Structure 1
Amino acid sequence: MSIKIARLAVLLACSAIALAGCGKKSDQPAASKGQVVARVGDEVVTIQDLENEFRWANVTPDKQKEPEIVKRVLGELVVRKYLLRQAMAAKLDREPGVLLDLLRSREQILENAYVQRQAAAKAPGKADVDRYMANNPAKFAGRKLLSVEQIAFPLGPATQTFIEVNKNAKSLDEIDEKLTAAGIPHGRQMGTLNSGDLPPEFYGLIEAKKADDVFFVRAGQNGLFFKVKGEEARPLEGEAAANLARQLMRADAVKAELGIAAYSANLEAKYEGDYAKIMQPGDAKKN
């Protein structure tokens, strides 16, 4: 066994013992009877556990007393506690592959918690929110619902070439015929697009459209060729607009924090062996 492998084995063994210890009942503060909502063998499910599940499931406080929701969420939590007991009894937490996954999950949770805290520390004030809404009228006061005729088809390697070849198509009939000839499954129907969901640059192109212009947009796992048939003003104002603005600004702040972290991490990172060459910046590779 090499020195590196031996060190990894020691690290995994020590981490396994630490993680296993965390699950021991003696290490947990005793839950009062008022806190316990269920028992699964030696495991207890507390009200704090249940509230945390509601948080993960995005169940709002006004829904957390509804019997059907409680039954579903608590039932899933009990099953997880049961399977945890079985996994621990089988000592799965001692297996190197499982342990590495546990450590990775821990890193991801802490990474997200840190980024979210950093973003929250820069929460925008009212003036910032008002400025954001004024700079993004298509999402707020100038929001519109676009009535469109669209052709939808699943995205994949084969359809990427089709999109490139037909990005300047003049009509939906032309697109329809070519998709049929290529054997690509698709559907044609009427639909709606919200101006607030579109990138500003792309919405600007739509606003400057000509009567016969055909556009393409990605929507989840599908591609859409569409033609605008009409539009309806649907402004978003007041507290609803402010709440959405804060959500979008929070998402932008998280993205910015991740960018800062990536830059800082790359400054500190020192790659070894072949990875030093692989991880060089693009410009350095060319030299």
Structure 2
Amino acid sequence: MKCQNAITRTAVVLGLCGLLVGGCSKKGGEQEAAPNSQIVAHVGDQVITAQEFANELRLLNIPLDKQKDHETVKKVLTEMVTRKYLLEQALTAKLDREPNVLLDILRSREQVLAAAFISRSVSKKLSAISRADIDKYIADNPLRFAGRKLMTVDQITFPFSANTQSMIESIKAASSLDEVDQKLTALGVPHGRSTSALNSSEIPQELLVRMDAQKPDDIFFARSGPNGMFLKIRSAEPRPLEGDAAVNMARQLMQNDLVKAEASMTSVSAGLEARYEGVYSNIMNSKTGDGQNN
């Protein structure tokens, strides 16, 4: 019975994926029927429309003054043509009928729609922010604006993972980057050492406060994308951010905060709606660390 249910669920998922791909194929046909004035290029049975090209420029963040630049147009269209060619080859090979490919397409659709929903929600909240709200944000975050600093730092960067997380606490007690370097080398963790410039507007608030209260020999740890970093400040000089530049930076930082808050609230709401089955119910409803060996 359980096996039959699993097969049924798989069939439903693949059926949904089939509908999704069918919808995409239909849209491809509609593009074929588009007026020639709206078609930028033909690639086999595929076409690139003016709307697709404009959207590609948007996704690549190409500035308006560069969108008619011949070299830029050539580069973007070459990449799109290659993608359409590979699409045609994949369809000819019937890869769109493979279960894993269908599931990947469904996942991509979910990610795009989820990002669009959060973006729309954030845009509505951002449009409601007044100049008074921005001025208050600037006043409440002096280290990012009037008290902004440009810092020269020595840093050691390494790939952050579950394996490296466990050893970070012991390395945090190091009194110098030389000691950090030695410990990472002894542990066999690949890393690189360099000098860079940071301004305090780009540093997470929690780390910024700690840095502002630093002692001369303090070593700081921070995350940067997939990497971990140990930092030591070599020098700092005042670089206040004021006027329109401060307003623009404040709006960007407030938008970032809204995205994080929206993602956090969405995660909570999703968790409340979720109902897990079988062993996954035990895993998801247990406290962290419980049942790991069960």
Give the TM-score normalised by the residue count of structure 2. 0.83
Shift of 1:5: 1.0
* Mapped pair 1:262 → 2:262: no
Question: Structure 1 stretch 187-196 or stretch 260-269: which is displaced more?
Answer: 187-196
- Counterparts of 1:229 and 1:22 in 2: how far apart (Å)? 55
* Mapped pair 1:61 → 2:64: yes
Kept in 2: contact 1:170–1:213 (CA 8 A): yes
- Counterparts of 2:189 and 2:9 in 1: how far apart (Å)? 53
Write the mapping of 1:186-201 to structure 2, written as runs, cut at 5 A: 190-201=195-206
* Mapped pair 1:100 → 2:97: no
Shift of 1:50: 0.7
Please give the secondary structure, in 1, of the residue aligned with 2:172. coil
- Counterparts of 2:96 and 2:258 in 1: how far apart (Å)? 36
Shift of 1:19: 1.9
Kept in 2: contact 1:21–1:27 (CA 8 A): no
Which structure 1 segments of 5+ residues have no match? none
Question: Structure 1 stretch 183-192 or stretch 91-100: which is displaced more?
Answer: 183-192
Partner of 2:85: 82
Write the mapping of 1:100-179 to structure 2, written as runs, cut at 5 A: 100-123=103-126, 124-152=129-157, 155=160, 160=165, 163-175=168-180
Shift of 1:6: 3.8
Q: RMSD of aligned C-alpha atoms?
A: 2.9
Q: Which amino acid aligns with 1:258?
A: A
Shift of 1:66: 1.3
Partner of 1:9: 11
Kept in 2: contact 1:217–1:224 (CA 8 A): yes
Shift of 1:16: 1.6
Aligned length: 285
Question: Structure 1 stretch 58-67 or stretch 236-245: which is displaced more?
Answer: 236-245
Shift of 1:156: 5.9
Q: Which amino acid aligns with 1:110?
A: L
Please give the secondary structure, in 1, of the residue aligned with 2:77. helix
Shift of 1:159: 5.6
Please give the secondary structure, in 1, of the residue aligned with 2:211. helix
- Counterparts of 2:240 and 2:62 in 1: how far apart (Å)? 28
Aligned in 2, Cα 1:112/1:152: closer, same or farther, shift over 3 Å? closer
Question: Structure 1 stretch 231-240 or stretch 105-114: which is displaced more?
Answer: 231-240
- Counterparts of 1:152 and 1:67 in 2: how far apart (Å)? 39
Please give the secondary structure, in 2, of the residue aligned with 1:71. helix
Which of residues 254, 262, 272 is equivalent to 2:277?
Answer: 272
Q: Which amino acid aligns with 1:65?
A: K
Please give the secondary structure, in 2, of the residue aligned with 1:209. coil
Shift of 1:104: 1.1
Partner of 1:41: 44
Kept in 2: contact 1:13–1:94 (CA 8 A): no
Partner of 2:208: 203
Which of residues 9, 25, 32 is equivalent to 1:23?
Answer: 25
Partner of 2:287: 282
- Counterparts of 1:161 and 1:11 in 2: how far apart (Å)? 39
Please give the secondary structure, in 1, of the residue aligned with 2:214. coil
Shift of 1:264: 1.7
* Mapped pair 1:51 → 2:60: no
Question: Structure 1 stretch 40-49 or stretch 104-113: which is displaced more?
Answer: 40-49
Shift of 1:84: 1.2
Kept in 1: contact 2:17–2:103 (CA 8 A): no
Question: Structure 1 stretch 227-236 or stretch 274-283: which is displaced more?
Answer: 274-283
Q: Which amino acid aligns with 2:4?
A: S
Q: Which amino acid aligns with 1:32?
A: P
Instruction: Give the % identical residues.
Output: 52
